[in-house]
Structure 1
Amino acid sequence: MYDPTVARLTYRALLGRRRALILCALPVLLIVISAAVRSFAGADDQVASDLLGGFALATMVPIIGVIAGTGAIGPEIDDGSVVYLLAKPVKRPTIIFTKLIVAIAVTMAFSALPTFIAGMILNGNGQQVAVAYTVAALVASIAYAALFLLLGTVTRHAVVFGLVYALVWEALFGSLVSGARTLSVQQWALAVGHKVTGGDLVTSDVGLPTATVLLVVVTVLATWYAGQRLRSLTLAGEE
């Protein structure tokens, strides 16, 4: 189910100079802000939770997921170079699964690790805040990568739609409309982070059983449907 050649090509595409600079921008900003906040406010657990929740998990993780998820396959479909990949003797589900693994790895590396570093800077993991949000970032990376990889196979405007979901649906509606939080990857991830650490500063509006089921279902369905989209694209080319 995993093809090293496809993985190498995908890593090369995602970590090219221009895209790597974009991926690094938000993590560096998070760490700089965390250092500044710590120097001015000292070690404050609530401030650490607010910054990691409001910036790291609500903004940085989904945006990096958009870049990695859509970038894993979207550009190849847009410029037609996916035809050369599909001509190889590699099963279509293997291509999607491999690209998903790469997208998840990149999203985790550029979001979960900076989140942990920022948490340690802010309050030295007081009340398990750094660990909780790192776990949440790891979990969210999986679902975001799957969702945005699917978007990359569905539309040429995957980045736009991905940003709309991440910044409008989750960040805006999720903060204003309580019902929208049930359909929020961010809230699902927070439920897992809260369970792992048991901290009072990391909470979710979604229960752990519901969050776990939704995370698994969304990830599996998005991956499966992305494979079907790639399969139909192949058939259309062959016809």
Structure 2
Amino acid sequence: MNLTIMRLALQALVGQRRGLVILTLPVLLVALAGVLRALTGEPVSANAVVVEVGIALVVPLVALLAANGVLGPEIDDGSVVYLLSTPVSRYAVAASKFVVAAGVAAVAAVTGLLGATLAGGLSGRWVVVSVVVGAGGAVLYTALFSAIAAATRHGMIAGLVYVTVVESLLGRFLGGFRYVSVRAFAERLGEVAADVDLPVADLSTTYAVIASLVLLGVGVGGAGWRLARFQLRGDE
């Protein structure tokens, strides 16, 4: 990894409007939990607020914004060519940007889920779920979206399709889809860590761990491979 690239990536991410959007999503989640609890006078539904809104929407969306924020704009305007002209490994470039995006996404996701858990009056087990699923899911989604952002100019659109169509719809109607679902991997890890019931059916812990590691390697490695081809082809 390269510290200079990481610093520039962080400045580009948090210093733009995209950074405000990343911050807004967790804040809205916490506000939703707080308002619902205030209106009902009872703890909110963990499944409705934390799982269906927080884990299913906020976590992947902040990861999508972060991943595209550190790489997408450079692909769009062609300035990535200047970055790739430096004597730095393309894989180091991809890894450096991934670490920054994953770190920002993880902090935002955990903050949102943890804040919603506390504001909603949920038990301590959901605090563990917030940390494990928030951090783990954000990192895994960022790996996937980093590879997509490096592969196409339409990384944001492709990511939105994955979140709203592939995971939300196919994951709901096709039980076997859990074996290739980022959300299912993260939820299984959270289920084991906190001893709560999350919608991952019989997905084994071993499979979730192995699949997560493979996704990380393929995501970051795929982004680096694409950046190497990007320079050689000069097609952008």
TM-score when scaled to structure 1?
0.92
Separation of aligned partners in 2, 1:84 and 1:51:
44
1:50: Cα distance to partner? 2.5
1:204 to 200, 206, 209: 200
Give the equivalent residue in structure 1 for 2:217.
220
Give the equivalent residue in structure 2 for 1:76.
74
1:24: Cα distance to partner? 1.9
Letter in 2 for 1:83: V
- Once the two structures are overlaid, the 10-residue window that deviates more, 99-108 or 132-141, is 132-141
Give the equivalent residue in structure 2 for 1:162.
159
Give the equivalent residue in structure 1 for 2:39.
40
Separation of aligned partners in 2, 1:228 and 1:17:
27
Letter in 2 for 1:12: Q
Note the 1:24-173 alignment, pairs <5 A: 24-44=23-43, 47-123=45-121, 125-126=122-123, 128-173=125-170
Give the equivalent residue in structure 2 for 1:177.
174
Letter in 2 for 1:49: N
1:182: Cα distance to partner? 2.1
Contact residue 132 and residue 202 of structure 1 kept, 8 A: no
Separation of aligned partners in 1, 2:185 and 2:65:
21
1:203: Cα distance to partner? 4.6
1:13: Cα distance to partner? 1.4
1:127: Cα distance to partner? 5.1
Q: Which runs of 5+ in 2 are unaligned?
A: none
Letter in 1 for 2:103: A
Q: SS at the partner of 1:20?
A: helix
1:139: Cα distance to partner? 0.7
Query: Share of identical aligned residues, percent?
Result: 32
Count of matched residue positions in the alignment of Structure 1 and Structure 2: 234
Letter in 2 for 1:15: V
Contact residue 69 and residue 148 of structure 1 kept, 8 A: yes
Separation of aligned partners in 2, 1:119 and 1:33:
11
Q: Which runs of 5+ in 1 are unaligned?
A: none
Task: Give CA-to-partner distance per residue, 1:81-114, whole Å, 9 cap, x none.
Answer: 1111112221111111100100100111111111
Letter in 1 for 2:75: I
Task: Give CA-to-partner distance per residue, 1:102-151, whole Å, 9 cap, x none.
Answer: 0100111111111111101112x415113213311111111111110101
Q: SS at the partner of 1:72?
A: helix
1:162: Cα distance to partner? 0.3
Separation of aligned partners in 2, 1:147 and 1:126:
31
Please tell me whether residue 234 in structure 1 is matched to residue 231 in structure 2: yes
Give the equivalent residue in structure 2 for 1:6.
5
Kindly report structure 1 stretches of 4+ aligned residues shifted beyond 6 Å.
none
Letter in 1 for 2:6: A
RMSD, aligned CA? 1.6
